[in-house]
Structure 1
Amino acid sequence: MLRNIDEVTIPDSNIVQDAQSIVHEYGNELIWNHSNRVYLFGEIKGHQDNLKYDKELLYITALFHDLGLTNQYSSDDLRFEVDGANAVRQFLDTYNYDERDLQLAWDAIALHTTLGVAEHKENNVALLYHGVGMDVMGDNWNQYSDEIRKAIVTKFPRGNFKKDVIKAFYEGFKHKPETTFGNIKSDVIKYFEPEYPQNNFCSCILRSKWEQ
């Protein structure tokens, strides 16, 4: 088990610096710290599991994964995960990334809240998902030493993250609650709006135009 955060490096290149500048400009301290923790937790898991993956792409997707919650990148009618995925694709396309990596980055962000699916995709997709899961819900907690967890939080503080991130989710898609149907973010809408009439999959089937 890795115990020294100094063994984990954050990629540094022109494209990484540009991605960081975008988060600083359109994100906030919550998104910045969370995104960097997500990368570090994903990177450490990848290192400890001896996986092959693109570290720079993992870091860039970690930086972009919640930008769909911001005014700059939020659409009127798409899931916030898709907004973030579209943003990273557009960003990487200006650096002439090949189609495979563009799709890999898009999938990583679009699926980062999709339980039961993302962890079975390519390593870059799975590691972003695991990094998010660790920072938000403590998934795979025991895979990380106490020293590593403390060092990451010291470098990128959590503050009142548990409450703040739920609020950030809500603020990011309260104008389009219908986009949370069928995914875990519907719980956020219900948390702030208990009376919101959530859609129901069984009702969708029964109300369809089919006779039987």
Structure 2
Amino acid sequence: MAVIDESSTLIRDIQLPRRPSNAAELEYVDHVGLKEWTEVEDLAMSRGEVGVPDDIDSEYNILGFKFAFSWATLWAYAGPGWLMSIAFVDPGNLESDLQAGAYGGYQLIWVLLGATIMGFFLQVLSARLGVVTGKNLAEMCHLMYPRWTSRVLWFMAEVAIVGSDIQEVLGSAIALQILFKLPLWIGCLITAVDTYGHI
């Protein structure tokens, strides 16, 4: 298990584990030392284990305190999950999936399966990274990689965003053409102005 080193570049901007605060914790630190305390805190955070008051003592509960269940804490962690699920299956994605299915039938189902599996793993790993470090994936890439690597990753993310949003822009332009007989390029401009006007 990795011990948090305050001089490490990775931990420089990341909040360190809390220091001992009550008598039981101070006694434990006096017995085993501050380094062992940091390891216990690090392990408990990385496992994401939250105890309830009726739980029996676990290997992480050696300091004499437990965490009570709280709906506020649950929603604080579940809220980003709801937002991610909405972003993952939004109306634009659903419409493009329906159109691709109507055009190609089941020939492209392997693409859907592969993209769903890769997206699942990426989101789970990003969520774990955020819970443990308090930083998102982009911030950690900026901290860990050289500047040129971060720029390449940023460019790839921008291309992916444009690629996923272009079908929504074209869909709006086609709708404006059907409703108001506007050319497609004018519909794209109106959609872009409307989108950036809300930022």
TM bin (shorter chain): under 0.3
TM-score (norm 2): 0.25
Bigger radius of gyration: 2
TM-score (norm 1): 0.24
